[in-house]
Structure 1
């Protein structure tokens, strides 16, 4: 994929750099906060090859890309100042100004940069629990000490990492913020908390608490620091403010945090954890089922960010989180439903797409599975939600918990193994049940396959004559592209050459554009851009497949110009593609054009030309 080109296209269609107040990315999405939503062309972004979907939620314009989002984010940084500099944009955003939108934006910006390393450390922490449990490495050994430091350092020094991301969000001095966090977890300060003796600061009593692994105190401290820093910088002379401001901030914010913000944050964190435990203990089966069922819906709207800090806080305060297993089970349920689609669908391309999306979902990236497969087909998504509820109920009954933060995936399974392994077996059973149930029910109940037009055959519009061929009704399909004409039997793809997908013809294109062959409606616009299905106003269903096995390009070199359900006229541009680049990548560019419902007709007559121009008569359907 040409990440630079994709980055340019996205930035242009969100209204340009000047329209972007802030930009962060998570595991799969670019999260834009825009000054003026009206300047963004959602349709243009959504129809870009390489973009899975666009979601507007929580005051953010979220561009779902998938696993390649870091590369696209980096390219945006190269062509703009959105990443490499603290961008000051004085434009007022009229969107997302409600408190929920602000909260979602705040949390996602602060926590998103840490998710990758959290996942890695969480995996190691879970594996280390198994190491200790089965004494694979003696816990008294120096080897274990070093391994424990590697696995636990992120969580121990979490306030310092959050100080960095919070300072960037609040536009405060990052180094001062990290220094404040360092003071909170300084060894002698930690010893004061452990000794439980009276602590004062210039005679003012301080209620000492332990700040390692905490979340809320440092965010509050950095926020207050950012306000005070702006106040000082406006009033101090520029010749001294670079060193006087940090000195004043350290002397004031650290004691204030120890006296006020810190204890308040810790008490709030403990209170949240206590409430969660009470809710879970009231009815663990029901609570687990409801949370697992709702998780993927929350993710769709970006509202899960309101729960992420709660999970991290639970681990900090209780050393475990009762919510995390249910979010993981929801991920496995959608993966299972996507697998069921792969096994059931008759569409070769959609089968390949579903298979890759199912694998990606198992590794914690559910957007391709949800937006590209299950939600698109509706029934599999609902089945996934129901299956997640069943698995969540099992995990709730078992008292399962997560012991390290990070995105849920098959690699994170060790992070659910606690010191004594309690609830771990129930969690494993829960994900197996959710995954298997979703896959089986999707296969058995079925869905409207992607290759089938939504209207029933009986509901098709009456065929109207477009041309006359020897006195019978006929419909003309014009050539969507110029090039060399081949019989289907001559091409190397057996599914097409055998006629199994329908009668038709093939063209070796000499240009990189596909036009609409008639007046009709887009039935299927494949996300990868390599194929498109359209239905004529007279009812003919035509599939245009650009090249052979080009689905493997995963959208690279293709640019779908239309969306599913969009009306099109003869000659409208459907897809643009880089013909030379596809050839250089080693792919056959032969493009089959088949009438997938040709069984409904008496015959499909093909042109006798060996070379054809776009808009020439190609097929005549009798």
Structure 2
């Protein structure tokens, strides 16, 4: 491998590649905000100890077949480019230089476990944040566009009629805003599949393809693209006694992450057993086929059963516990959004609306305002002109209009204490809504403009409850941040992604 004239990045890249087992051992190489994410064919030659000693490397973590090399937000793009250049240059050339020095002893198991996860109970949260962090710009952009669409399209915002009815020429542009914005969340499994498959050591493109299959199945079948099924709209597609179309994956997160983890494991197993042209032809095909069977016949139905059972439990608790039930639902709703289980409440909500009114929609509004309040508090606490202030302010606006995912994943879960404050405030809002028996008579955007969906006579109470929830979350986050989490906010404002070891990261604990 030619090394003459190599700069610092090239020299570091050569050392990293050598410690990874050579250019031929690299299957996929990507990066996020602060880490190189390199999936290897065989983990046995990998020496994390040698990688940790490379100048510029801040830390190393091994997740399955993926080696995560922490180099920091200012250097990751250049380092990744250098690794790719040296990998391509070395893929076809034998290294005629002296043999690599023996690897130093690996760090103790306790140290490796500490690097991979400071607290094992928080590992699922760290995995979730690792997967979602690269998607934050997309979430914020989609949320802002949807908020603008809802603002001009919902009735009751500036009068009884929506703005598009008063100014008809705005209808077309408003629809364009809505389509671009909703695409982010309707096709979320494609984005999650891409990010999650890479996180678990598989091909991101196969993950995206699997996510696309999950979302597209109902539409393609109903369109008549597969004549053998001959289904009309609302039909069923049964395999092994299971209704494949009975699960709606749009907007889901956790089921797609589970499916992506299975895909990565299957792909790695096939890659170890197949070689050459056989691997090129059959590894992607068998990976998608086997993962699809498990997704449609095991993971999806299990998620549906869990969601239906949870929806029934929610109604039982709310009906029997009154104000306490409203508080419990308010506290749980943000967690449902994180896991995607809130999608399972849609069928319950439609039934409640058909019977006179839904208690779920108002609670969702209080939860979204609580997330917005926490975001605005973080924006206030963050340093002026910092990245965190820009993200928090941008994510809080769509949350106020009913799109809470940017606020939850982009800000509040990363710092954790704003998310806890939002849960507490959402519980208070849910209790007040239950006390005043506020219900929705139609679906809409669960935020400030959601007042148009509330039963006549309860709109003012709805606004009071959700604004109290937002104000309480703002106050709790401000107070908690000033007293205990000032270093954590400053560390996040400096740029490192969650899970990396920035200074002050230990203060993130609640």
Contact 2:307 2:341 in 1 (8 A): no
Question: Which residue of 423, 428, 431 corresponds with 2:463?
Answer: 428
Cα drift, residue 418 of structure 1: 7.6
Contact 2:238 2:244 in 1 (8 A): no
Specify which structure has the higher proportion of helix. Answer: 2
Q: Does 1:136 align with 2:136?
A: no
**Residues 324, 78 of structure 1: CA spacing in aligned structure 2 closer, same or farther, 3 A cutoff?**
farther
Query: 1: distance between equivalents of 2:192 and 2:370?
Result: 27
Question: Which residue of 350, 370, 379 corresponds with 1:329?
Answer: 370
Structure 2 partner of 1:244: 282
Q: What value does the CA root-mean-square deviation take over the aligned residues?
A: 6.2
Contact 1:394 1:427 in 2 (8 A): no
**Residues 242, 272 of structure 1: CA spacing in aligned structure 2 closer, same or farther, 3 A cutoff?**
farther
Cα drift, residue 200 of structure 1: 5.1
Whose relative contact order is higher, 1 or 2, with alpha carbons under 8 Å and at least 6 apart?
2
Larger radius of gyration: 1
SS of corresponding position for 2:298 = helix
Query: 2: distance between equivalents of 1:439 and 1:177?
Result: 37
Structure 2 partner of 1:220: 258
Cα drift, residue 437 of structure 1: 7.0
Q: 1:244-278 CA deviation, whole Å, 9 max, x = no partner? A: 21122233332443333322233333434444454
**Residues 199, 331 of structure 1: CA spacing in aligned structure 2 closer, same or farther, 3 A cutoff?**
closer
Structure 2 partner of 1:518: none
Structure 2 partner of 1:94: 113
Cα drift, residue 224 of structure 1: 1.9
Query: 1: distance between equivalents of 2:272 and 2:244?
Result: 34
Q: Does 1:104 align with 2:125?
A: yes
Cα drift, residue 132 of structure 1: 4.6
Q: Which runs of 5+ in 1 are unaligned?
A: 1-7, 9-17, 40-44, 46-70, 296-303, 343-349, 376-380, 405-411, 451-523, 530-553, 557-561, 564-622
SS of corresponding position for 2:133 = helix
Query: 2: distance between equivalents of 1:439 and 1:188?
Result: 44
Specify which structure has the higher proportion of strand. Answer: 1
Cα drift, residue 228 of structure 1: 1.5
- TM-score, normalised with respect to structure 2: 0.51
Query: 1: distance between equivalents of 2:422 and 2:174?
Result: 40
Q: 1:39-74 CA deviation, whole Å, 9 max, x = no partner? A: 9xxxxx9xxxxxxxxxxxxxxxxxxxxxxxxx9735
Contact 2:330 2:426 in 1 (8 A): yes
SS of corresponding position for 1:240 = helix
Contact 1:336 1:384 in 2 (8 A): no
Contact 1:290 1:389 in 2 (8 A): yes
Matched ranges for 1:304-453 at <5 A:
308-310=338-340, 313-314=343-344, 322-323=363-364, 325-326=366-367, 328-329=369-370, 332=373, 364=396, 390-395=428-433, 397=435, 398-399=438-439, 413=447, 417=450, 420-421=453-454, 425-426=460-461, 428-433=463-468
- TM-score, normalised with respect to structure 1: 0.43
Query: 2: distance between equivalents of 1:100 and 1:137?
Result: 49
**Residues 389, 167 of structure 1: CA spacing in aligned structure 2 closer, same or farther, 3 A cutoff?**
closer
**Residues 292, 280 of structure 1: CA spacing in aligned structure 2 closer, same or farther, 3 A cutoff?**
same
Query: 2: distance between equivalents of 1:148 and 1:242?
Result: 40
**Residues 230, 263 of structure 1: CA spacing in aligned structure 2 closer, same or farther, 3 A cutoff?**
same
**Residues 230, 125 of structure 1: CA spacing in aligned structure 2 closer, same or farther, 3 A cutoff?**
same
Query: 2: distance between equivalents of 1:358 and 1:247?
Result: 44
Question: Which residue of 306, 310, 316 corresponds with 1:268?
Answer: 306
**Residues 128, 253 of structure 1: CA spacing in aligned structure 2 closer, same or farther, 3 A cutoff?**
same
Structure 2 partner of 1:188: 220
Cα drift, residue 384 of structure 1: 9.8
Query: 1: distance between equivalents of 2:471 and 2:142?
Result: 29
**Residues 190, 122 of structure 1: CA spacing in aligned structure 2 closer, same or farther, 3 A cutoff?**
farther
Q: Which runs of 5+ in 2 are unaligned?
A: 1-8, 10-18, 20-29, 38-47, 53-57, 59-70, 86-105, 156-160, 224-228, 350-359, 397-406, 496-502, 505-510
Tell me how many residue pairs correspond in the alignment: 368
Cα drift, residue 235 of structure 1: 1.0
**Residues 432, 384 of structure 1: CA spacing in aligned structure 2 closer, same or farther, 3 A cutoff?**
same
Contact 1:172 1:225 in 2 (8 A): yes
Structure 2 partner of 1:117: 138
